[in-house]
Structure 1
Amino acid sequence: MPKEIVVPTGSGKPLAPYSPGTLADGVVYVSGTLPFDKDNNVVFLDDPKAQTKHVLDIIKSVIETAGGTMDDVTMNHIFLTDWANYGAINEVYASYFPGDKPARYCVQCGLVKPGALVEIASVAHIGKK
């Protein structure tokens, strides 16, 4: 099964050895996405809503570059640094998935850079429905 690396136009260089996304057999796997600018600096410090929006916009760009839409997302893996931000993150998250909701899980943990409050990885099926 051939795979295609998915890198949206204007993406920054990954912080580690990974690709923003991989497309294989109609499925897009989006790497864990953090609230980073093109230089891997954390953006919107202390603002979980703005960080979540930034992360989901990046995920959306990966999925759209692969030929899909956010409606194609079937699974999200959400990591947050503090349960106190859960409500704010969910408020923004819900606006990206207004119809049928993808499966997901959410865990509290440390993230790769201080100041990052949320990380999300996604799976989208853009092949035959």
Structure 2
Amino acid sequence: MLHEVVTGADVPRPLGPYSPVVRTGHLLFLSAQTGIDQSTGAVPEGDFEAECRQAFANIEQALRAAGSGLQYVVKTTVFYADLADLPTINKVYADVFPNNPPARSAAIVGLAGGRRISVDAIAVLPG
């Protein structure tokens, strides 16, 4: 089965040699998004929650650019740097996915550039 790289001005810019969004059939595979605001290139001012919310906003932006949305996410993987941030991640996750949340894996890892969270996703196209 062939795959297509989703491109366009609204697709978050990759930070390396990878595709931010790949479509194959009715599935979308989103590369991990950090809490970098795409318009400023910086992490939003504030605490970890602001960075966490920005990571999910970037996921939402990538999904919209590919013709989907948060309600079509079936799986996420959350990479984060500090176990103490898990309650905040759970709070934001519940806000982002208030009904029928997707499956999730999570791992504590070291992230490049001092980032504290990175989230990837698998979603379906509506229809």
TM range (shorter): 0.7 to 0.9
2:120 counterpart letter in structure 1: A
Question: Is 2:125 aligned against 1:126?
Answer: yes
CA distance in 1, matches of 2:94, 2:45: 21
- Could you say if the C-alpha distance between residues 89 and 7 of structure 1 is closer, same or farther in structure 2, counting changes exceeding 3 Å? farther
Q: How does 1:30-41 map to 2 (within 5 A)?
A: 30-38=30-38, 41=41
- Could you say if the C-alpha distance between residues 74 and 81 of structure 1 is closer, same or farther in structure 2, counting changes exceeding 3 Å? same
Q: Tell me, what secondary structure is at the counterpart of 1:113?
A: helix
CA distance in 2, matches of 1:12, 1:70: 15
2:21 counterpart letter in structure 1: G
Query: Which structure 1 residue ranges, 4+ long, deviate > 6 Å from structure 2?
Result: none
Aligned to 1:61: 61
Tell me by how many angstroms 1:46 deviates. Answer: 6.4
1:67 counterpart letter in structure 2: G
After superposition, the C-alpha distances for 1:13-43 in whole angstroms (9 at most, x for unaligned) are 4221011111110111000111124489540
Aligned to 1:88: 88
- Could you say if the C-alpha distance between residues 83 and 58 of structure 1 is closer, same or farther in structure 2, counting changes exceeding 3 Å? same
CA distance in 1, matches of 2:43, 2:122: 24
Q: Tell me, what secondary structure is at the counterpart of 1:92?
A: helix
Q: Tell me, what secondary structure is at the counterpart of 2:35?
A: coil
The answer as to whether partners of 1:13 and 1:39 remain within 8 angstroms in 2 is: no
- Could you say if the C-alpha distance between residues 21 and 12 of structure 1 is closer, same or farther in structure 2, counting changes exceeding 3 Å? closer
Percent identical among aligned pairs is 27
1:110 counterpart letter in structure 2: G
- Could you say if the C-alpha distance between residues 5 and 29 of structure 1 is closer, same or farther in structure 2, counting changes exceeding 3 Å? same
Gaps spanning 5+ residues in structure 2: where?
none
The answer as to whether partners of 1:33 and 1:55 remain within 8 angstroms in 2 is: yes
Q: Tell me, what secondary structure is at the counterpart of 2:123?
A: strand
The answer as to whether partners of 1:27 and 1:123 remain within 8 angstroms in 2 is: yes
TM-score by length of 2: 0.88
CA RMSD of aligned residues (A): 2.1
How many corresponding residue pairs? 127
- Could you say if the C-alpha distance between residues 13 and 62 of structure 1 is closer, same or farther in structure 2, counting changes exceeding 3 Å? closer
CA distance in 1, matches of 2:83, 2:124: 29
Aligned to 2:78: 78
